[in-house]
Amino acid sequence: MNIAAFIVIAIVTLSGALAAALLPRLIHAALWLVVTFFGIAAFYFLLGAEFVGLVQVFVYVGAVAVLIVFTILLTRRDADKDHAFHWSGAVVAVAVFAALVWTILRTPGLSVAASPVEALTVRRIGEVLMTDYVWPLQCIGLVLTAALLGALVLVMEEKR
């Protein structure tokens, strides 16, 4: 796997994430979040899971980001107000990060390089989805329908 590409993508993704977490204006944060999503999709491409990368762009950039942006607009009067920043959260995040990195570095056998792999074709994914994962697929269908209806009910105008 190409280390140069990996480092470039990592820098783009993580700086996008940092900007999305820390920028004061909500819209800018949402747009930086899109950069992060693209970076993660690039990681999937690099890891040989092209289909997941495409789904990532399709779902996150095409749907989730647009949803976030729409919500920001609908709640706009509140968007640019200065909300407090809790430093305790930063402490917790740093602690979690330290714990994670400590665990990763201490675990033996993680510094393996990727072995060559045959490309994961869309056909293979389709076959697996329709055989081994057919029940999870149906459940996802149900969950998505329920989420659709639930979201609709939540945002419907309250009748007075």
Partner 1 sequence: MTTTLQLVLIVSAVLFSIGLLAALSRRHAIFILIGIEMMLAAANLNFVAFWRFAPQPQPPTGVMVAIFAIAIAAAEAAVGLALVIAVYRHYRSTNVDELDQLKG
Partner 2 sequence: MSGGFLDQIFVSTKHWLLSLLVGAPEWMTQIASSLLSISATLGVFLALFALMSLLERKILARIQNRLGPNRVGPFGLFQPVADGIKMLIKEDIVPARADKVVHFLAPIMVAAPTILALGVIPYGRNMTPFAIDGGILFFFAVGSATELAVFMAGWGSNNKFSMLGAMRAIAQMVSYELPLIVSVLPVVMIVGSLSPDAIVDAQSGYSLNVIPHWFVTTPWGAASFLLFFIAGLVESNRTPFDVPEGESEIVAGHMTEYSGFKYATFFLAEYFGMFAISGLAVTLFLGGWHAPFAFLQFIPSWIWFFAKLGVLLFVFIWIRGTLPRMRVDHVMNFAWKFMLPMAFACVIAAAVWHYQARHLAGWLWSAAIVAVVYFTLSRLLETRKRFAPRTYRFAE
Secondary structure class of 16 (helix, strand, coil): helix
Q: Which of 8, 128, 130, 134: binder of partner 1 (CB under 8 A)? A: 128
Binding site for partner 2 (CB under 8 A): 27-28, 31, 34, 50-51, 54-55, 57-58, 61-63, 65-66, 69-70, 73, 119, 121-123
Transcribe 30-41 into DSSP letters. Answer: HHHHHHHHHHHH
Residue 57, amino acid: V
With CB under 5 to 8 Å by kind, the binding choice for 86 among partner 2, partner 1, none is partner 1
Evaluate the CA torsion angle 147, 149, 150, 151 in order and state its sign. positive
Is 121 or 138 the residue whose CB approaches partner 2 more closely? 121
Q: Is 122 in the site for partner 1 (CB under 8 A)?
A: no
Is 9 or 60 the residue whose CB approaches partner 2 more closely? 60
Evaluate the CA torsion angle 150, 151, 154, 158 in order and state its sign. negative
Q: Which of 8, 28, 89, 134: binder of partner 1 (CB under 8 A)? A: 89
Q: Give long-range contacts, CB 8 A cutoff, 24+ apart: 30-33.
A: 30/65, 30/68, 30/69, 30/72, 33/65, 33/68
98/106 Cα distance (integer angstroms): 12
Q: State in angstroms the smallest separation of the CB of 74 from partner 1.
A: 6
Is 21 or 64 the residue whose CB approaches partner 2 more closely? 64
Q: State in angstroms the smallest separation of the CB of 123 from partner 2.
A: 7
Q: Which of 12, 31, 35, 44: binder of partner 1 (CB under 8 A)? A: 44
